[in-house]
Every structure is written in structure tokens, then in C-alpha cells.
């Protein structure tokens, strides 16, 4: 193939690539759902500065879904109220997100009975929260055809749910609970606890009298002071690296 034809083909691919990416970014901006731009969705409430990224996952029963202020709902997140669309679920909300809730990409919140998620709870990607689970009582019927069991789910404020965590019907998480990645949680979890495993067990807990038990393995992070600029942070990092190199040199044998 002549060289100029290769050059033209490469240029065309670059132009098409840029156009595709520019078009996708435009679609993401235009397709995001907010209180001002709800599209086809009519939530029971959606607070200011709350945003559902595009593309959205499966969403139905939105009149019984209430979203607080400053929530971040990532791409492909499923939010459902009721077992199927177009049901009348009564006067009370079924799924309630507090202010500042973050749901990571590909998460699912399935509310066949009430689910509440407290303020400032953050969820990693692929978190699954459900108020309904399949039953398997009848050994002669396929599990998927048996009538499910439902129980309310309550997640307290300030929690962190790691990637792939599963919260089962009837779970009640207290304040500032940490759920490890991949953990499967049922039952009650007290305030300031860390749970891990399937089924999840408490692996660390904070008490006012004793602090964290077992003790934390790493020091508490020091917050960045107000007014510190990125340039100052870089300068501090460079100074720390220089001091580390000096100490290593001083420790080398002559």
C-alpha cells in the first residue's frame, strides 16, 4: 500500500476516534439525570446537586424512591422499588437515600420492602443491597419459582461498603460501619465496626473506653490543612524524598 494511503487511513482513524469520544462525552453530559433534568424519571424526591450518571441502569418504581442532596449515582446503577414496574406501593417511600450517598458503578439497590441508606454512606463498585431473597423451602420446586422472603434493610450514616459487598434482607448496619470487599452481611452490625467474610463477621471494633480493638496497623492519616496549595504539597513531598535519600546515604558504610 502506498505510503500516502497509509497516512490518510491513519489520519481518518484518529479523526473518527476523536469524534466517537467527543460524542460519548456529550451523551454522558446530556444523559445525566438531575433535579433539573430528570428525563423520563419521576422520583418521589431528588435533592439539589444529586446526579445519576449516564447510562443509567434499570430504574423503576421511582415515585417510591427518594434521593437526598449531593448524591452521586455512578453509571449502570440499578434502583428499583417493588417487585416489578407499574405497581401501586402505597403512600410511603420504599427506597430512601440520605444526603451525600455515593453508589459505585454497577451497584444494585433492590427494594421490595423498605431500604434506607444513611447520610454520607459510600459504596464501591458492584455493591448489591436487597430487601428480598429467594427461598428454597420446597425441595420439589425450582428455587427461582418459590415465593421470596422480604425484610427491611437499614444502613446507618457514614458507612463504607467495599467493592462487591452484599447486604441481605433484614440487615441493620450502625453508624460508620466498614464492610470489606466481597463481604456478605446479614443481621445487625453495631456502630464503628469492621466486618469481613461470607457470612460477614466483626473483625475490628471501636469502643470509647478501649479505642480500636484489635489496634490499627497504620497511623491515622493527617488531613491537609486549609489553604495548602498543590505546589506546596509537591514541595513537601520532594523535601521528604530528599531527607530520605540523605538518611539512607548517611547510613551506608564508608
**Hey, how many other C-beta atoms are within 10 angstroms of the C-beta on 165?**
26
Q: What is the DSSP letter of 56?
A: P
Residues annotated as part of the active site: 134
> Residue written as cell 453509571?
75
- Give me the phi and psi of 6, to 5 degrees please: -60, -45
Q: Which residue in the block uniquely carries the three cell numbers 423520563?
A: 40
Distance CA 108, CA 179 (A): 16
Q: Which residues contact 175 (CB under 8 A, 6 or more apart)?
A: 118, 156, 157, 158, 159, 191, 192
Rounded to a whole number, what is the distance in angstroms from the first to the last CA of the chain?
63
Cell of 11: 489520519
Amino acid at each position: 500500500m502506498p505510503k500516502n494511503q497509509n497516512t490518510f487511513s491513519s489520519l481518518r482513524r484518529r479523526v473518527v476516534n476523536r469524534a466517537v469520544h467527543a460524542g460519548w462525552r456529550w451523551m454522558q453530559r446530556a444523559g445525566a439525570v438531575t433535579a433539573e433534568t430528570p428525563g423520563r424519571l419521576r422520583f418521589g424526591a431528588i435533592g439539589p446537586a444529586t446526579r445519576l450518571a449516564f447510562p443509567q441502569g434499570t430504574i423503576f418504581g421511582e415515585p417510591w424512591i427518594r434521593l437526598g442532596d449531593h448524591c452521586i449515582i455512578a453509571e449502570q446503577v440499578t434502583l428499583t422499588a417493588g417487585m416489578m414496574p407499574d405497581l401501586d406501593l402505597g403512600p410511603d417511600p420504599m427506597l430512601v437515600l440520605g444526603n451525600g450517598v455515593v453508589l459505585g458503578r454497577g451497584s444494585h439497590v433492590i427494594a421490595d420492602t423498605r431500604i434506607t441508606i444513611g447520610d454520607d454512606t459510600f459504596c464501591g463498585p458492584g455493591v448489591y443491597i436487597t430487601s428480598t431473597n429467594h427461598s428454597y423451602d420446597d425441595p420439589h420446586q425450582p428455587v427461582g419459582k418459590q415465593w421470596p422472603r422480604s425484610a427491611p434493610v437499614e444502613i446507618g450514616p457514614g458507612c463504607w461498603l467495599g467493592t462487591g459487598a452484599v447486604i441481605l434482607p433484614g440487615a441493620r448496619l450502625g453508624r460508620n460501619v466498614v464492610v470489606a470487599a466481597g463481604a456478605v452481611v446479614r443481621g445487625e452490625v453495631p456502630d464503628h465496626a469492621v466486618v469481613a467474610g461470607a457470612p460477614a463477621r466483626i473483625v475490628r471494633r471501636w469502643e470509647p473506653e478501649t479505642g480500636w480493638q484489635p489496634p490499627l496497623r497504620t497511623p491515622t492519616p493527617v488531613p491537609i490543612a486549609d489553604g495548602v496549595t498543590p505546589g506546596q504539597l509537591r514541595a513537601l513531598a520532594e523535601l521528604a524524598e530528599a531527607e530520605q535519600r540523605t538518611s539512607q546515604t548517611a547510613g551506608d558504610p564508608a
